[in-house]
Structure 1
Amino acid sequence: MNTATTVRWHTVCPLGRLDLDRGVAALVDGVQVALFRTTDGLYAIENRDPVTGAYVLSRGIVGSRHGVPTVASPLHKQVYDLRTGDCLDLPGVCVTRHEIRCRDGMVEVRLRQEE
């Protein structure tokens, strides 16, 4: 018997609601997600800062390091790669990255399932 679950896309908001180079928090199927719109594209990571445990990454400083789109935690300034979720300052520390897309002008997120 196949017990695989279907992972679905959740509509979050119109694309125009996301300001360029700013983050916003969204509750997606009970999970706090930080959404970012940059000149490079759309990114979605978990909103929880793994260093402090606070749900604040959506309020972080958006930037780049060596061409990599990043967000710096507003608390202790650790920098995270928005493409992968990896912390660029603390090896082995990361945040979950979720899939994000824009379809028909609406931002959609598909939560990454824990393995």
Structure 2
Amino acid sequence: MHLTAMKALLICMLAGSLFIQPTGSLKCYTCNTQLNNANCQTSVNCEGNANVCKTDVVGVVGLFNVISKECASSCEPYFKDFTVGKRNISCCTADLCNINGAHGFSTNYKAQVALALFVSLVCIFLRS
């Protein structure tokens, strides 16, 4: 190969590498039906076509919140105020951008467990 051809090839390879974007996976915090955001601090590398961090918070009558976080392939922000509570879905696309969530409220333990079971059923109903 001539020196000129090698230089041209090297320049083309260098120029092409400028347009290649790194393919690292998105990192999100994940948890499932937690009463406190402190329990939602596990970070994971999203897999497949997941390119959004999603946070779903269901608040029940101002008593407490149930928080779920996940990697998602799509996400639509959503807010709904129901008679017995509120639901808020938020979406973001930067690494670990879903760190914030609603903080749990302190109530007695038995009341928390009973309300958690109730809210879990409400979440299942709302997601279907």
TM-score (norm 1): 0.25
If each structure's strand is expressed as a fraction of its own residues, which one has the higher value? 1
* The structure with more radius of gyration: 2
TM-score (norm 2): 0.23
If each structure's helix is expressed as a fraction of its own residues, which one has the higher value? 2
